[in-house]
Structure 1
Amino acid sequence: MKNKLLQRALDFSKETATKRVALGFGFLVLLFTVFGYFVLPAIIKSQAEQFISGKLHRQMTVEKIKVSPYAMEINIHGLKIMEPDGKAVFASFEDLKVDLSSSSVFRMAPMVQEVRLNRPYFHLVRADASHYNIDDIVQLIASQPPSPDDKPARFAVMNIQVEGGRIEFEDRPEQANHKVEDLKLGIPFISSLPSQINIFVEPLLSAKVNGAPLLFKGKALPLADTREAQLNLDLEGVDVPNYLKYLPFEPNFKLSGSKLDIHLNASFRQPHNKAMALLLKGNLALKSVEVSDLAGKSVLRLPELAVQLGEISVFDGKIGIQKVALNGLVLNVDKDKNGTLNVSRLLPTAKSAAEPKAAATEKGVKSPGIQLSVEEFLVKDASLKFADEQTALPMQATAEKFDLSLQKIALDVQKREMRIGEVSSDSANLVLLQGKPGAVAPKKADAARDKGEAPGFVVNVAKVALANWSAQIEDRSRARPTITLVAPLSLNLADISTQAGQKSALEVQAKVNKTGQLAIKGKVGLSPLHADLALDIQEVDIMPLQVYFTDQVNLLVTRANLSTKGAVQLDQGSDGALKGGFKGDLALGNLAAVDKASTNDFLRWKSLAFAGVNAQLSPFSLNVEHVVLSDYFARVILSPEGRINLQDIMRSQAGGAKSLTDEASVASTPATPKPAATKSMPPVSIKKLVLQGGKVRFTDNFIKPNYTANLAALGGMVSGLSSNAKSMATVDLHGQVNNAPLKIAGKVNPLKGELALDIKAEVKSMELAPLSPYSGKYVGYGIEKGKLSFEVAYKVEDRKLTAENRLILDQLTFGERVEGSTAGNLPVHLAVALLRDRNGVIDINLPIGGSLDDPQFSVGGLIVRVIVNLIGKALTAPFALIGSLFGGGEELSWLEFDAGRAAITQAQEAKLKTLAKALTERPAVKLEITGRADPETDREGLRRASIDRKVRALKLKDMVGRGESAELDSVVVKPEEYPALLTRVYKDEKFTKPRNLIGMQKTLPVEEMEKLMLTNAQISDDDLTNLANRRAQAAKNWLVKTGRVPEERIYIVAGKGSAASSENAKAKPNRADFSLK
């Protein structure tokens, strides 16, 4: 019984304990349920509002909190955080759900099964340039003490979702509002549990940023030791102009229509205790870009810019870009009247005077320099326009529809170096319009580098290739615009560098003005300037260059081309001077030039070729192996003042414009005085100058009458031209003058400071009949026939000229007098007769000389004066001319006799011999002899002659009486015989004689007898006339008999018994006068 009671008691106690446990557990569940559902939300709400409001100093309210303790879920509804002033909502969300997994109990770590946030909202305000409405929150966070370095908390959160998020950003300084709408975030999983830490988290974020869709997704290991993440960002249609206001400078441009697309892939990795790495890849696209200046003028228009990123290592400063493509770029660049580029006016202006401080770097760590690489940079269908509005030299340049490719670009900012693998372009059209009428290029300002300026970047380009380009260059700076077309144009460069001493390979191929060919190949350098180039230029039309010198010349080039083949070498020394030169050949071909005033032909040639040219700079020297001028023509005119028209090709400042071919208007220029002493002439030499197939039409207006000759087939050679004062060039030229052979030979040095020459020239048998119009005009008679030959020899030494001019006129025959001629009635026939020898040849030697320093000196003038004097003598003093040719001078014009005598003395026979010789050599000349007798001296002479004749007659009678034969003229009375013979003659005289006292004739001395006989001798005027005639006859008899002059060429003019005229005043009155006809 007792045992049963005890057993019952024990059973009851057991039953009661179980009930108690059950009741207790039930109570706890009830308490937990009541607390969890009803008490805990209120506590959380109250504590949260109190705590957060206290911490943030902002009112935070929660509309409702719902806790599901059994589901381990909490829902927070209607949370709001106000601004500090409590007037506006700073942040809010509509609903937050957190679902805790029951596995948290077993894993001893919070395991969140789901987090869902609906309609979150943030309102950010930028109050001014440096203050935001979250400054207090940022400051609060920054002021929190760092957490101890414990092990990271263990947790796992799954299925994180944000729906309908919205962020509003109010930018009060810029008066702008920005919105992020439709924000969605999905993170499937994030955990720090060791077993899950290496599982990738794949977040997803999408939104609309100011209407532009944003997509952000990827995968990450945020809590693993590697801290690894890969994220993709897609942002499309960003309106770039809305963000210009956030640039750190004040933009001086307007940007319209620009839309930005961003597609990025970011890879982040930061292993423990190692440097972090952030790599970016993806694509960027900018569309419909238009940049204009503040006045609204378009500067840049870009339909599309596409950037394909390679790999960007953000923290290493390495930027890799796979490809950059610009499609349809239009760039308008202009320079205003002050020389300022419009693109420079677009550069930023600081918003404040304060300079931004450099960003702090990690302690002891230097910021790495930026290294940029671009695999490919493409410009397609681009257009470039450049306008220079400077009044001095306006210019416009356009390049239309061209493509440009840059390969392998590398930029190292720290090393200040840029490398480009290749630059290429194909089929670009370049048009260059420069200048306006009358514009003059401005002087370049001296460039100066600030000593404190950092050195520039070194740019290296491995290769540049431009193909199928065309360039049209139009210069409007002259009255008549010039257009030069270069097409096609190809250019290749290799190893280009701005680094000092670097040399680049250059090759250019082009066609110039459709017919010319241009080829350049070699090495060039920029710093210092260097060129080692092979040139090959063929038949490039130089007509476009004429506008640059036409105002300085009096000719107009109507055709010409330039060819050259050789090498150019230039090097810039440390002083900036260029050294080097040109070696090779060049030619100016097919030149034709006319007189600008009259358009008459002036100069032309087929080719002017320079072979073996060696021209050097610093110091200057020029050496040419040979020059060939072929198939040339020149119009050469010598003015009345002795100036050749070739000297007027260049316009002088004083002379101005003048005609080169109008004979009447070829202006004169005063003789050039001796040049002032100057520095020695630089070394110049031309080994050989060859002339071929030349024609020259030469007019000499200096000589009266004027003369025009046609020189043809001019050729030959000039060897050894040199500026060396001791050197003389050898001249050997030949040709034809009016179809007569011409030859020029000798020595000359026209390149030395003072002219030196020793030249001989000759013309053989030039027909004179073609010159009949000139002789008819200026002489009064036409030329029927005749040939001209001449030999000249000129020598100039020490500025003094000595010359020999031999003229030979063969069979010169004048025709009838030309009616209406302006020439006077000149006795030209006599002149010709006097000058022409018995073979019909006129041979004249004209020696001249003078100093080149004489302002009045002129070779042509001297020759003309000599010729004029010679002709003058032929007309006015013919015997002086004969005397100069044969000896005797002017005295040949008379023959003197003793008073009262007609006998020719031995001394006078010498004159007659010279005169006979001249008459023999001049068979066309006739001679007239006029005897003369003086009434005084000849009357006395006749008286004495009568006594002498009577004495000799008496002796002849005695001789005959003795049987001797003799003639009266041969009788000679000896002095000892004379008194006796005179006494006998005296006794026979019939006049009254003196007698003595007895009436007988006195015996008188010889003198007294002669005196009485002379006194009583009667001489009449007829006796004087007879004496004059006998004297003329005596001269004629001698010339005919002794001098062998044909009698028919000699005429006796009636004697003159009166006193002699004033003519031949130097001669005695007892003479015979000669006259040539």
Structure 2
Amino acid sequence: MASLDKEKVSSTLHAIGDVARSRRAKRIGVGTLIFLVLFGLLGFFAAPPLIRHVAEQQLTLQLDRPATVRRIALNPYTLNLEAEGIHVGERGGQGEFIDIGKLTVRPSWASLFRGAPIVSEIRVDAPRFHIVRYDAQRFNFTDLIEKFSTPSKPGSKPVHFSLSNIQVNDGRVDFDDRLLNEKHVIDNWSLGIPYVATLPSKTDIFVEPKLRARIDGSPIAIDGKTKPFAQSRESEVELKFDRLDVPKLITYAPAKLPVAVRNGTLSTNLKLRFVMAGDTPALRVSGTVDLNDAKVTSASSEPLFAARGVHVAATDLQPLRSILHFDEIRVDQPVVDLARDRQGVLNVEKLAGTPAAPAAASGASAAAPAAPAAEAKAAPLDLAIRHLAIDGGTVNFDDRMPATPAALSLTRIATTLDGFTMQGRTPARYAVSTELSRGGTVKAEGTFSLAAKQADTKLTVDALALPALQPYLGEATRARVLDGTFSTTVNAKADWGKTPLDAQVADSELSLNALKIAAPDAKAPAIALSDARVKVTKVDLAARTAQVESVDANGLALDVRRLKNGAIDLAALAAPSQAAPARAVAHKGRAEPAAPSWHYEIGELNVKDAAATYTDLSTPHPVKLAFKPLQLNVRKISDDLSKPLPVQLQATLNRKGSLNVSGDVTAQPLKVGLRINGNRLDAAAFEPYFGSALNATVASALLNAQGNLAFAQVKDAIRASYRGDAALVDVRMLDKATSDPFAGWRSLALTGLKASYDEHGTDVDAARVTFSNFYGRVLLDAQGRLNLKDVVAQESGPAQSLTRDAGKGEPVPLSPQGASAPAVAQAAPAAHVAQQAPASAPAVVKAATPPAQPVRMHVGQLVLQNGRVNYTDNFIKPNYTANLVAIKGMVGGFGTESTTSAPVDVTANLSGNGPITIKGSVNPLIAKPALDLTATAHDIELTNLTPYSAKYAGYPITKGKLNVDLHYQLANDQLTANNHIFIDQLTFGEHVENDTATKLPVRLAIALLKNSRGEIDVDVPVSGSLSNPEFSVGGLIWRAVLNLIAKAVTSPFTLLAHAFGGNGEELGYVEFAPGSSQLTDASQGKLDTIAKMLADKPSIRLDLIGRVDPDKDLPGLRDAYVTRLVRQQKLKEVVGQGESVDTASVKVDPAEYHTFLTRAYKAADFKKPRNLVGLQKTLPDDDMKKALADHAPVDEGSLRTLAQQRAESVRQYLDGKVDASRMFVVAPKLDAKGIEDKGATTRVDFGLK
């Protein structure tokens, strides 16, 4: 094979030699030599002047500026071109534009074969550029840009070229900024570009990429290395800037910045490495960047940002691969100024601005072709920071959005962040601390991992001044925070990789100190708090649970006022004082699902050394209550409102009495069980609430209470009870008009008190009632009116005196009601009149309406101790005064349901006369009061009664004594009274003429009654039935009879209920469940009472009026229809199984209700919803019931039938108990109009005839 190659080479050389020795070849060689010589001569000597001329001409023409070239040299064989002294002047020839010392260009002969310019080397020595800026966008070269910036034609191909080894040495740029009146110099400028081409070339590259210069004395250096023909095209560039003046550089940015950079120097030491791996470019950056003494403001010179220094050290930045690794980021003494306007827009938001419409349109058009590229999944951001530090930072916030502008500052901000990475799971550690200008420090430290989606923190807030937050509180409350600090220590952790977010707070504490809150226009605080602490055990955001160990409040002071309009001032503080400015925010109308409720537990609430003052300005006289000191302890607080809360309360009211309360309180349903211990509580402080209704003023009243209080709410009913002792002591009541003493007592004590209240009524049971050291004044004025009737004040007019006679008005005859005081003196004449007067005419008495909630009372023993009563009669002329003193005694047990009478033993002394005793038994509070009393009064001087004898008998008494023995018995409304009167030596004086004296012969009557010893000894029996309108004391009973008749006509059932049982007007109807005509047990019991009543009143007839309420009975009929359908389905199943079945007893149990409801639904004949495959859709029970009810055959005729069925049900029940001829079913009423009572509107009304 090798020998064969040698033969070919030898053959080729031999052929070439033959050609060279030929004659033709010699002629070609000579011609070529001559061409080369001529080409050299023309190139060396003729071409340079020509090129120089053409260059000057074309430069002048194209640049529109005078251009000259001092010398041009050309080597035609190497194609090297040198030009020296290139000068381009300014337009018009005034000034210099461009000067180049020397330009060397070395083209390559390969350009002839490649069909494109290929330049091996370009070197520019000592270039000088003179640039002038006239305005923001116009320079001395602007015309050239406009001339040569014509866009290429659509579809044109790029020009192929290759430029290698580009060098610029010793360059200089003089920049005259006439807009800013500044001049800049860029000198010592050298530039190296290894390769710029659109055409591959094999030119030898010996130039390294670089850029070196000084900008106004600040050096910059950009050095690089490149491998232009390597497959990776690897390049490396070093960027070194030293204290570049940033404001000057920013001034010439092509786009106008929204901010103004006032100060700052930039230094860099960066390395940029570019590698093309296949079609994927890679750019790596490392090094440091330092920005010192930076200051940025808005265009209007408002401060935005400043920093003493910003240092960034990057280890590996690959922006094309979303890799950002920093070794250190350090910011020294940064200052950030934020401002928010009245519309809630931050100054930084305004700086972002809104892009112009053309730019937006351009962006939209550019986004269209970029859409396919966006489909490629972007690489995840790989951000890592080994160490970040912010030291000595400040944030100033000027907020104009609140009604009261706020100015807040965060100072001495210190932040560190170590080991941060977005890809690694190793948590980064951080620490942040700052101080608030208005007071307080905030610290936070912890770790977090974005990759693991976990974080933990310890937040510490110390003495945060709350008044600084007042402008923001104004949007939520009218209250003003005058003083106070907030502190907290929070330990929290979060895992946002879980759904829902797993965030927990544990072992944390919150505290308030020296808190003072006042109303908008008040100087004194309405709420004050010395200190309060909350210890948090755990808060779980995902589980929505919170556990609080304790809440402690010390020195709480509340000043509560009820204003004249009835509003509570503290409640008004909760209202917002101003509306927050509206901000336009676009929201989609989408309802958020309801979040699960929170569950919380608070171990203990402690309120110590508290004080509360309450002033009520809505009363005629302000009520002032002061509770100080006040202690409160509540334990086991939770969201489970059904659990009881142990409560303890100690307080002092108005610096007089003490109150101790302990027990349990349950919120839902409301239930209270408390032990009450109150000692000398100022009850007179509450006098303004009821004092306006009295003509007496309660000057003093103290309440003692030791017992157990219970309160509960069961559905809509309230139940309350009290067990223990109670006493009202040191009571003094004054005449409101004169301030004279009116009544009072040392003590009114109830021992062994049992009081309860519920829907059935009120029960009061006192084992012992002791009334001691009591006194009172009884006055009969000149008009014959007893002052006790004036204790309750009139709605208008001045206060009526209870202790003095007004002395106005005409005297009126003493009525039987007014004659109660001198009853002893009138006993004999009254008895005589009673024996002679005919019986009063029969009349029907209107019974009193029994209360809807009756009061049942029982007193085990009533003890009277050392009482006195002053009686003054100004109706008699001359006036009469008597003092009943040394009142004492005992009344045994009595009550509203007592079956036995209470023993009575009471004694007293009539001042200046003998003793008075009352003994016997009494049962005054039962439905039919009973008594058996014996009263005695001996040795009463009749001369003291002369005013009465002169007025009614016409004769004064000059001598005589009176002994009275009275025996009264009352049982079953039958009164039997035996009045034994013994008068000794009664002597009249001369006759006194007056209009009120009787016309009977008094002297003759007295003479007939006296015995031979001058004694009158008579028994005056009085008997009669209190329930009988013909009772002999007709004058007293007659008005009651008339009232009884009136009430019997207007409210017959109330009267009958009192006699036969029941509850007032409720006997006038029976109720039915909506849609039903079936009587309940309660309704049957009421009908039994009606039957009993009719049996006792054979002349009364009964009307039955069936009624319906469409609003209630229509739904009821529909429900009954559904129930009937379900029951029918069960009947189908149980009937026909071979056994007898009582269909009336068939019931649907809850466990099988769903089955028979489903059958009833399927059997119903109406259109039902179906699923996607056409089958009947399965519905929940409630939906099936609703569908069946909606198709129930119910109309107005159904209502009429229901009303008639109800009346018929009542008639059938009463049939056999009441004669049918006495019952009438009348036309039904098909609405609820005219019903004024509180009973159900689904009923049968009764009428009596």
Compute the TM-score of the two structures, normalised by the length of structure 2: 0.48
* Alignment check: 8 A CA contact 1:185 1:203 kept: yes
Tell me which residue corresponds to 1:487: 487
Q: Distance in 1 between matches of 2:855 and 2:1005?
A: 62
Matched to 2:495, the amino acid is D
Equivalent residue in structure 1 for 2:237, among 225, 231, 241: 231
Q: Distance in 2 between matches of 1:198 and 1:871?
A: 143
Equivalent residue in structure 1 for 2:634, among 572, 586, 610: 610
Listed as ranges, the matches of 1:170-189 within 5 Å are: 180-185=186-191
* Alignment check: 8 A CA contact 1:718 1:729 kept: yes
Q: Which moved more, 1:592-601 or 1:484-493?
A: 592-601
Q: How many residues align?
A: 751
Tell me which residue corresponds to 2:172: 166
Tell me which residue corresponds to 1:628: 647
Listed as ranges, the matches of 1:938-977 within 5 Å are: none
* Alignment check: 8 A CA contact 2:683 2:701 kept: yes
Identity of aligned residues (%): 16
Matched to 1:809, the amino acid is V
Listed as ranges, the matches of 1:12-51 within 5 Å are: 41-42=48-49, 44-46=51-53, 48-49=55-56
Q: CA deviation at 1:385?
A: 3.0
Deviation string 1:615-655 (CA, Å, 9 cap, x unpaired) is 36xxxxx33413322433335999xxxxxx9xxxxxxxxxx
Q: Distance in 2 between matches of 1:808 and 1:779?
A: 28
Equivalent residue in structure 1 for 2:547, among 519, 534, 554: 534
Equivalent residue in structure 2 for 1:589, among 584, 607, 627: 607
Matched to 2:533, the amino acid is Q
Matched to 1:535, the amino acid is V
Q: CA deviation at 1:472?
A: 1.6
2:279 is equivalent to residue 277 of structure 1? no
Q: Distance in 2 between matches of 1:737 and 1:75?
A: 126
Compute the TM-score of the two structures, normalised by the length of structure 1: 0.54
* Alignment check: 8 A CA contact 1:49 1:60 kept: yes
Q: Distance in 2 between matches of 1:363 and 1:779?
A: 104
2:400 is equivalent to residue 392 of structure 1? no
Tell me which residue corresponds to 2:336: 331
* Alignment check: 8 A CA contact 1:303 1:329 kept: yes
Q: Distance in 1 between matches of 2:987 and 2:555?
A: 85
Indicate the SS of the match to 1:258.
strand
Q: Distance in 2 between matches of 1:129 and 1:870?
A: 120
Q: Distance in 2 between matches of 1:65 and 1:877?
A: 160
Matched to 1:330, the amino acid is V
* Alignment check: 8 A CA contact 1:397 1:433 kept: no
Indicate the SS of the match to 1:134.
helix
Listed as ranges, the matches of 1:122-521 within 5 Å are: 123=131, 133-139=144-150, 162-167=168-173, 180-185=186-191, 202-209=208-215, 212-242=218-248, 253-271=259-277, 273-316=278-321, 319-348=324-353, 355=360, 357-358=362-363, 360=366, 366=373, 373=383, 375=385, 378-390=389-401, 392-405=403-416, 424-430=430-436, 462-463=454-455, 465-470=457-462, 471-474=464-467, 481-487=481-487, 489-490=489-490, 492-495=492-495, 501-507=500-506, 508-513=508-513, 515-520=531-536
Q: CA deviation at 1:934?
A: 13
Q: Distance in 2 between matches of 1:100 and 1:1021?
A: 170
Q: Distance in 2 between matches of 1:693 and 1:891?
A: 41
2:793 is equivalent to residue 809 of structure 1? no
Matched to 2:983, the amino acid is T
Tell me which residue corresponds to 2:983: 930
Q: Distance in 1 between matches of 2:916 and 2:1034?
A: 12
Matched to 1:610, the amino acid is V
Equivalent residue in structure 1 for 2:100, among 93, 96, 110: 93
Which has the higher Rg, Structure 1 or Structure 2?
1
The verdict on how the C-alpha distance between 1:596 and 1:711 changes in structure 2, with shifts beyond 3 A counting, is closer
The verdict on how the C-alpha distance between 1:314 and 1:690 changes in structure 2, with shifts beyond 3 A counting, is same
Listed as ranges, the matches of 1:710-725 within 5 Å are: 717-718=708-709, 721-725=712-716
Q: Distance in 1 between matches of 2:649 and 2:248?
A: 75
Q: Distance in 2 between matches of 1:548 and 1:913?
A: 58
* Alignment check: 8 A CA contact 1:290 1:301 kept: yes
* Alignment check: 8 A CA contact 1:686 1:719 kept: no
The verdict on how the C-alpha distance between 1:296 and 1:554 changes in structure 2, with shifts beyond 3 A counting, is closer
The verdict on how the C-alpha distance between 1:387 and 1:45 changes in structure 2, with shifts beyond 3 A counting, is closer
The verdict on how the C-alpha distance between 1:482 and 1:35 changes in structure 2, with shifts beyond 3 A counting, is same
Deviation string 1:676-726 (CA, Å, 9 cap, x unpaired) is xxxxxx9723566343765452335679795856566x6654467344346
Listed as ranges, the matches of 1:844-883 within 5 Å are: none
Q: CA deviation at 1:233?
A: 1.0
The verdict on how the C-alpha distance between 1:84 and 1:1021 changes in structure 2, with shifts beyond 3 A counting, is closer
Q: Which runs of 5+ in 2 are unaligned?
A: 1-30, 110-116, 441-449, 515-530, 572-589, 616-621, 660-665, 730-746, 779-801, 805-849, 872-878, 899-905, 923-929, 940-963, 970-979, 989-1003, 1020-1032, 1037-1249
Tell me which residue corresponds to 1:656: none
Q: Which runs of 5+ in 1 are unaligned?
A: 1-23, 103-108, 413-417, 435-457, 557-571, 617-621, 639-644, 646-681, 781-795, 818-823, 850-868, 896-910, 917-926, 936-1018, 1036-1062, 1067-1077
The verdict on how the C-alpha distance between 1:554 and 1:201 changes in structure 2, with shifts beyond 3 A counting, is closer
Q: Distance in 2 between matches of 1:799 and 1:93?
A: 118
Q: CA deviation at 1:426?
A: 3.9
Matched to 1:326, the amino acid is V
Matched to 1:275, the amino acid is T
Equivalent residue in structure 2 for 1:574, among 592, 599, 607: 592
Listed as ranges, the matches of 1:638-677 within 5 Å are: none
Q: Distance in 2 between matches of 1:539 and 1:230?
A: 67
Q: Distance in 2 between matches of 1:303 and 1:36?
A: 63
* Alignment check: 8 A CA contact 1:257 1:289 kept: yes
* Alignment check: 8 A CA contact 2:750 2:766 kept: yes
Q: CA deviation at 1:165?
A: 1.2
Tell me which residue corresponds to 1:79: 86
The verdict on how the C-alpha distance between 1:347 and 1:718 changes in structure 2, with shifts beyond 3 A counting, is same
Q: Distance in 2 between matches of 1:356 and 1:92?
A: 43
* Alignment check: 8 A CA contact 2:768 2:861 kept: no
Listed as ranges, the matches of 1:554-573 within 5 Å are: none
* Alignment check: 8 A CA contact 1:692 1:716 kept: yes
Deviation string 1:497-534 (CA, Å, 9 cap, x unpaired) is 9x984342335434432853334465566xxx984332
Indicate the SS of the match to 2:279.
coil
The verdict on how the C-alpha distance between 1:602 and 1:1064 changes in structure 2, with shifts beyond 3 A counting, is same
Deviation string 1:209-237 (CA, Å, 9 cap, x unpaired) is 45543211122212322111111112243
* Alignment check: 8 A CA contact 2:727 2:749 kept: yes
Q: Distance in 2 between matches of 1:212 and 1:388?
A: 41
The verdict on how the C-alpha distance between 1:519 and 1:113 changes in structure 2, with shifts beyond 3 A counting, is same
* Alignment check: 8 A CA contact 1:161 1:187 kept: yes
* Alignment check: 8 A CA contact 1:698 1:710 kept: yes
Matched to 1:506, the amino acid is V
* Alignment check: 8 A CA contact 1:631 1:692 kept: no
Q: CA deviation at 1:465?
A: 2.7
Q: Distance in 2 between matches of 1:848 and 1:247?
A: 104
* Alignment check: 8 A CA contact 1:323 1:374 kept: no
* Alignment check: 8 A CA contact 2:60 2:66 kept: yes
Q: CA deviation at 1:589?
A: 1.4
Equivalent residue in structure 1 for 2:71, among 60, 64, 74: 64
The verdict on how the C-alpha distance between 1:846 and 1:289 changes in structure 2, with shifts beyond 3 A counting, is farther
The verdict on how the C-alpha distance between 1:576 and 1:773 changes in structure 2, with shifts beyond 3 A counting, is same
What's the Cα RMSD here? 6.7
Q: Distance in 2 between matches of 1:386 and 1:877?
A: 93
Indicate the SS of the match to 1:119.
strand
The verdict on how the C-alpha distance between 1:208 and 1:48 changes in structure 2, with shifts beyond 3 A counting, is same
